[in-house]
A and B are shown apart, each in its own frame.
Chain A
Amino acid sequence: MVLAVVAAVINMFRFVLIPLKAILLSSTFAVGCLLVIGLLAPAKAAVLPQDRSDVLYHSYQGDGVSIDGPSILLRKKIGNKVSISTNYYVDSISGASIDVRATASQYREERTEQSFGVDFLHNKTLMNVKYTNSSENDFEADSIYLGISQDFFGDLTTVQMSYSRGEDDIRRTGDETFFEEASRQKVGLALTQIATKNLILGVHYENVSDNGFLNNPYRSVRFIDPDAARGFSFAPEVYPNTRSSNAFSISANYYLPYRAALFTEIRTYSDTWGIRATNAKLGYVHTFGDDWIVELRTRFYQQDEADFYQDLFSRENEFNFLARDKELSSFNNISAGLSVTYEKKFSETAFFKKATMNYEIDHIRFDYDNFRNVLAEGPVGEEPLFSFSANVMKVFFSIWY
């Protein structure tokens, strides 16, 4: 763990210097940040994130795939102006989804993600920098995140701006000659507003731009092939090399008179590949005494397919761009979840202030409108539509100090 953190810090400085220099020297963002830093009015302080540590075990079971592993977060203040944090996360993946079962055999792999972040507080302004590395045997991703948030109007309003840049190296197991790259930029703007003494509202906008190889190198399109035994064959997907998306969400948290809360979020999404999506979330938090917190939530998501998606193409290389990745198809999912937290507060003078033990479970049902189960019997192009359910579980221990 310590070695992982040290490696993350070294990588951060190696990876960050060039893009950070480009960002700081060449964009409006740089001038804006300088203005913020230079013109800050003397004001009452905002707050750094609280010192805490979390140890989490997560598990995902669905569509023949099992993913589980730990996530560990450590966060600590250094003086009154700086807080550092690090996160170590592992996905251990086994089994095979419908995409893999249709064209290949089961597999096992591991993804490790490490991040290292620093938060700086200056009067009412909170700035943060975070470096993240994600590593698999066939995929390597580095990203840097810069964020700045400021409280104003008597601390009723918080505005947050963010910029992140990521670069991916993509390889394909079993093909030593395969190597592709992709890069990504994200720009976000968020506003949180205290509306009444019981209501907080939020709006959030984010633009994401991708360049490079954006396919999953293992996924294939299906096309009619009269010479094949089953009447169809598979060929590699071909995606455009660029993608730009816009997402906008509004959220609200409302405090009920008996120490409970309602929360909701609605998001709309569109991108240059023709995907349009909407989702809505609704939740209720209830407390039992001082020690127990129970949360119930539900979420609904719906999307339209990408312009170049088809479940079945009439021939190989029918169009310039071809996709049969079910994440680009038209589908919806609905989920329901429950969280239970036991909270123990310690003395204000003790080193540890508070600890919680948490259990969370979510059940998600996916229904596809134009993605067929090719493993099922049926005439070509008329196989039953695919659907599956997944269970997502988290158990974690958190401690504040």
Chain B
Amino acid sequence: MKNRIRTKTMSKIAMLSLFACLGSGCKTTIEPWVKPYERSHLADPIMSFGRNPVALAYAQHVFEAREGARGAEGGAGGGCGCN
């Protein structure tokens, strides 16, 4: 019981730390190793995880309706922030 409470507390602290890190912009001294002017290939629509959201949503629906598994499919979203 005590371990379960400790695990729960730790996971909450980890979650809050992650949120706080994101919120603060995670300021670090890490220099981006791919400069903004080097991201033309990444900004090309053919590199997008879901360049056609309506078609992607439909394809996921077709599989999800006929398979036991669900979730975490279809790319992580986001991108290179350069379009």
Contact = CB atoms under 8 A, between A and B. Distances in A.
Interface of A: 28, 31-33, 35-41, 43, 46-47, 50, 54, 56, 58, 60, 71, 73, 87, 89, 123-125, 148-156, 158-160, 186, 188, 190-192, 194, 196-198, 200, 202-208, 245-249, 251, 253, 255, 259-261, 263, 265, 267, 269, 271, 273, 275, 277, 279, 285, 287, 293, 301, 303, 306, 327-328, 333, 358, 360, 362, 366, 392, 394, 396, 398
A46 B36 CA distance: 13
B52 A396 contact: yes
A355 to B, nearest CB: 13
A47 B77 contact: no
Contact of B78 (A89, A190, A248): A190
Given A202-B49, A396-B55, A303 B76 contact: no
B10 interface: no
A248 B72 contact: yes
Given A32-B16, A32-B19, A277-B68, A71 B54 contact: yes
Contacts of A248: 72
Contacts of A50: 83
Most buried by A among B24, B27, B38, B73: B73
A313 B66 CA distance: 23
B47 A269 contact: no
B16 A260 contact: no
A46 B71 contact: no
B61 to A, nearest CB: 9
Contacts of B52: 54, 358, 396, 398
B76 A155 contact: no
A56 B71 contact: no
A247 B64 CA distance: 13
Interface of B: 12, 15-16, 18-20, 22-28, 30-34, 36, 38-39, 41-42, 44, 46-49, 52-55, 57-59, 62-63, 66-73, 75-83
A202 B44 contact: no
26 contacts: A41-B25, A47-B83, A56-B54, A71-B54, A148-B22, A152-B25, A155-B81, A156-B32, A158-B81, A159-B78, A197-B42, A198-B41, A202-B49, A202-B75, A202-B76, A206-B72, A208-B70, A247-B73, A251-B75, A255-B42, A259-B44, A259-B46, A269-B69, A277-B68, A328-B68, A392-B62
Contacts of B42: 194, 197-198, 200, 255
Main SS of chain A's interface residues? strand
Given A46-B81, A192-B77, A398-B52, 13 more contacts: A152-B26, A158-B78, A158-B81, A160-B76, A197-B38, A247-B70, A251-B76, A253-B49, A259-B44, A269-B70, A301-B63, A303-B68, A394-B55
B62 to A, nearest CB: 6
Contact of B20 (A35, A124, A154): A35
A196 B22 CA distance: 22
Contacts of B46: 255, 259-261, 285, 287, 293
